Amino acid sequence: MLKKVLKYDMKNIYRPFMITYGCLLVLSLAATMIKQIEHYSNAILLNLFANLFLVAYILANVGLFLGCIIFIVVDFYKSFLTDKGFLTFTLPVKTSTLVLSKVINAVIWEFISFLIFVIAQIIFLGPSEFFRIIRVIPEMLKAIEYFGLLGFAIEIGGITLLAIINAPLVLFACMAIGQCFSKQKILASIATYIVMSFIIQFVSMAAIFIFSLGASSYEYIVLNSVTGLHAYLIFIFLFQLLLCIIYYFATILSFKKKLNL
Amino acid sequence: MNKTNATSLTPLLVCQNLSKQYGSFTALFPMNLIIPKGRIVGLLGPNGSGKTTFIKLLNGLITKSSGDIQVDGNPIGVESKKVISYLPDRTYLNMSNTVNEILDLFEDFYEDFDRSRALSMLESLQIDPKSRLKTMSKGTKEKVQLILVMSRNAKLYILDEPIAGVDPAARDYILRTIIQNYNPNATVIIATHLISDIEQILDDVIFLQNGQVTLYTSVEEIRATHGKSVDEYFREVFRC
Amino acid sequence: MAWKFDSDRPIYTQLLEQIKLGIVSNQYLPGDKLPSVRDFAFIAGVNPNTMQRALSQLEQQGIIFTNRTEGKYITTDTNLITQMRESIAKEQVHTFCEKMRKLNYSTSEIISLLSDVLKEEEV
Q: In what order do the strands lie in the sheet with B11-22?
A: B25-36, B11-22, B66-71
Residue A75's pLDDT is what? 94
Terminal alpha carbon distance of chain C: 34
Whether A224 has a pLDDT exceeding 70, the answer reads no
pLDDT band at residue A219 using 50, 70 and 90 as cut-offs: very low
Whether C103 has a pLDDT exceeding 60, the answer reads yes
Round the average pLDDT of chain B to a whole number and report it: 90
Query: Model-level pTM?
Result: 0.86
Domain boundary among A101, A132, A147: A147
Test A84 with B92 for CB contact under 8 angstroms. yes
Test C11 with B223 for CB contact under 8 angstroms. yes
Chain center to CA of C27: 11
Predicted confidence (pLDDT) per residue in B208-222, tens digit: 999 999 999 999 999
Nearest to B78 among A86, A94, A260 (CB): A94
Does residue A194 sit in the same domain as residue A86? no
For chain C, what are the domain ranges?
11-76, 79-122
Does residue A131 sit in the same domain as residue A162? no
pLDDT band at residue C68 using 50, 70 and 90 as cut-offs: confident
Among A50-54, A78-82, B87-91, the range scoring the smallest mean pLDDT is A50-54
Predicted confidence (pLDDT) per residue in B181-205, tens digit: 888 899 999 999 888 889 989 999 9
Q: Which residues in B lie closer than 8 A to residue C48 (C-beta atoms)?
A: 179, 182
Residues in CB range of A152: below 8 A, 6 or more apart: A144, A229, A230, A233
pLDDT band at residue B117 using 50, 70 and 90 as cut-offs: very high
Could you tell me which chain B residue has the CA closest to the CA of C3?
B200
Q: Chain B within 8 Å of A10 (Cβ-Cβ)?
A: no
CA distances from A122 to A28, A64, A134, A140 (A): 9, 16, 10, 20
Whether A216 has a pLDDT exceeding 60, the answer reads no
Q: Chain B within 8 Å of C36 (Cβ-Cβ)?
A: no
Beta-bridged to residue B20, according to DSSP, are B28
Fold (CATH) for C11-76: Arc Repressor Mutant, subunit A (1.10.10)
Among A8-17, A27-36, A233-242, the range scoring the smallest mean pLDDT is A27-36
Test B200 with C10 for CB contact under 8 angstroms. no
Residue B149's pLDDT is what? 95
| Domain residue limits at A250 | 148-261
Test B59 with A89 for CB contact under 8 angstroms. yes
Interatomic CA distance for residues A220 and A76, integer angstroms: 45
A48 versus B129: the higher-pLDDT residue is: B129
Does residue A139 sit in the same domain as residue A23? yes
Round the average pLDDT of chain C to a whole number and report it: 90
Domain boundary among A89, A116, A147: A147
Does residue A165 sit in the same domain as residue A94? no
Test B201 with C5 for CB contact under 8 angstroms. no
Q: How many domains does chain A have?
A: 2
Does residue A36 sit in the same domain as residue A163? no
Whether A131 has a pLDDT exceeding 50, the answer reads yes
Asked if A154 contacts A237 with a C-beta cutoff of 8 angstroms, the reply is no
Q: Chain B within 8 Å of A183 (Cβ-Cβ)?
A: no
Asked if C87 contacts C20 with a C-beta cutoff of 8 angstroms, the reply is no
Whether A261 has a pLDDT exceeding 80, the answer reads no
Q: Chain C within 8 Å of B67 (Cβ-Cβ)?
A: no
Does residue A100 sit in the same domain as residue A191? no
Closest CA to B81 of A220, A94, A125, A73: A94
ipTM comes to 0.89
Q: State the DSSP code for B137.
A: -
Does residue A118 sit in the same domain as residue A206? no
Nearest to C48 among B182, B227, B231 (CB): B182
Does residue A116 sit in the same domain as residue A211? no
Test B92 with A12 for CB contact under 8 angstroms. no
Q: Chain C within 8 Å of B186 (Cβ-Cβ)?
A: no
Test A4 with B108 for CB contact under 8 angstroms. yes
Residue A220's pLDDT is what? 46
Does residue A52 sit in the same domain as residue A69? yes
Whether A152 has a pLDDT exceeding 90, the answer reads no
Does residue A108 sit in the same domain as residue A65? yes
The dihedral through the CA atoms of A124, A130, A133, A134 has a sign that is: positive
Among A142-146, B104-108, B161-165, the range scoring the smallest mean pLDDT is A142-146
pLDDT band at residue B35 using 50, 70 and 90 as cut-offs: very high
B115 versus A236: the higher-pLDDT residue is: B115
Q: Chain B within 8 Å of C47 (Cβ-Cβ)?
A: yes
Does residue A10 sit in the same domain as residue A135? yes
Asked if B188 contacts B36 with a C-beta cutoff of 8 angstroms, the reply is no
Domain boundary among A92, A119, A147: A147
Asked if B185 contacts B155 with a C-beta cutoff of 8 angstroms, the reply is yes
Whether C109 has a pLDDT exceeding 50, the answer reads yes
Does residue A117 sit in the same domain as residue A207? no
Whether A189 has a pLDDT exceeding 90, the answer reads no
Residues in CB range of B186: below 8 A, 6 or more apart: B12, B37, B38, B153, B154, B155, B156, B157
